[in-house]
Chains A and B, each alone.
Chain A
Amino acid sequence: MTVPRGPDEVRTALVDAASALLGEKPPQRITGRELAERAGVNYGLVHHYFGGKSALLSEGLAHLAASYALGERADGKPGDWRPSQPFSIRNRPDYLRAIAFASIAGEMDEVSTIHPVVEASLAEVADRRGCGEEPTDETRVDVAVATMFQLGWCLFAEMVSGGLELDATEQDEVEARLRLVLRAVLLGLDVGEAARGIREAEGT
């Protein structure tokens, strides 16, 4: 690995190191020295460029969020998925893991940012529910719950599918139903009917 030189390279190396470490362990377990070592730079530069460890971690999370919102893969190349697709965060396990570690630690507020497609999703849902440009609190709550539901499923899918001993075909069937459930949450439809596989019309 070449040693990063100059402000831009050093900053990029440190933000990349933060993005990587955030997916490996809870934020409170990441030290400034670890960040510097991973980036291959002097420890003092963490403070010089970011003022401290927590600001750098925030940058790391913001970097992951922006990359996910662009539909990029973890290596920065364009992915074959769109962030607006249901459960799309599964395509970025690094970002999902970072959000999960920070959220469990209760540091998601300080470590800032979240699901960057939420705003876009909000406008679309408000439109489909016919409540105009300004989403109501109720619509906002439903979008927040739907986002949480997607993160929850992506985090626990393996544990649940493994525990229920579902084979690959059964997992696909459940996944298709869960997309209907997600749609019902977003549009205020009956989630029980969705779980049965019934696709209710919008605006009823």
Chain B
Amino acid sequence: MTLARRGAARGDLLDAALRLLADRPPSAISGREIAEEAGVNYGLVHYHFGSKDRLLDMAWRQHLDWLVDTEMEGGTRPVSVRATAEDRTLWAVAGHMALDPLQATGDGDRRRVLDAYRDLVEASDPDGDPVHHWTTIAALFALELGWPIFGPANVTAIGLSSAHLPMARSRVEALVATLESSVGLRSGEPAGGKGDS
């Protein structure tokens, strides 16, 4: 095998690991399955990453880096409800990671999105109350990740049809906008829950 091919195998393994993490939690994924999904030799999992868990962890962190760099424009704006909802990989993998956390592998930073949020909020509301800041970040995560995972089934379970999904999503977007503006952040639309109307 050439060095170039080995390099490509590394990227293929990271992509394959992320695809499998969207399907199931880390504990239900073996190194052989990742190699098979990537179409590369099993030995390369250890050659490039040392262990299966470290490969899964790196795949996840790489996706979070990508999110901060693109959606958050380097950490200068919050993630939109639309972006999270449309990125199945993001919410499915986040859900599986929350259900079945990987042991920390000690290298790199898995908290990049949370760190970016904290910096963003502290910069836009420098004299604010820390509990207000943490609560806002916590509520934004619960709403933006909770919506794609739990939203659709909850809307139909309460006696509404799937035709009401856009109405529910607008409500989530309004809540997110109100929370963001309470710490001085501005996303797409002006703040204001329907309580003000």
Contact = CB atoms under 8 A, between A and B. Distances in A.
B24 A192 contact: no
Contacts of B136: 195
Interface residues of A, number: 58
Interface string B164-197: 1001100110010011011000000001011110
Contacts of A152: 141-143, 145-147, 149-150
B77 interface: no
A137 B136 CA distance: 27
Interface string B139-170: 10111011101111111111110001001100
A160 interface: yes
Nearest to A163: B114
Interface stretch (A37-45, A68-76, A98-106): A98-106
Contact of A144 (B23, B155, B175, B179): B155
A185 B155 contact: no
Interface in B105-160: 110-111, 113-115, 118, 129-132, 134-139, 141-143, 145-147, 149-160
A148 B147 contact: yes
A142 B142 contact: no
Interface stretch (A1-9, A10-18, A166-174): A166-174
A178 interface: yes
Q: Is the interface of A mostly helix, strand, loop or mixed?
A: helix
Interface stretch (B9-17, B41-49, B50-58, B89-97): B89-97
Contacts of B129: 196-197
A103 to B, nearest CB: 5
A188 B195 contact: yes
Nearest to B146: A152
A190 B191 CA distance: 10
Interface string A92-118: 000001011101100011000111001
A29 interface: yes
Given A104-B95, A148-B146, A185-B175, A138 B194 contact: yes
A174 B98 contact: no
A149 interface: yes
Given A137-B164, A145-B175, A177-B131, A153 B146 contact: yes
A174 B158 contact: no
A26 B28 CA distance: 9
B175 A174 contact: no
A126 B143 CA distance: 22
B154 A104 contact: no
Given A149-B139, A190-B195, A195-B179, 16 more contacts: A26-B28, A103-B95, A103-B153, A118-B158, A137-B167, A140-B158, A147-B154, A147-B158, A151-B154, A152-B150, A157-B138, A164-B114, A188-B195, A191-B139, A192-B182, A192-B191
18 contacts: A103-B149, A109-B156, A114-B154, A141-B167, A144-B151, A148-B151, A149-B142, A152-B146, A153-B142, A156-B141, A161-B138, A166-B134, A189-B193, A191-B139, A191-B179, A192-B178, A192-B191, A196-B132
Closest 6 CB pairs of A and B: A152-B146, A192-B182, A163-B114, A152-B142, A108-B153, A114-B157
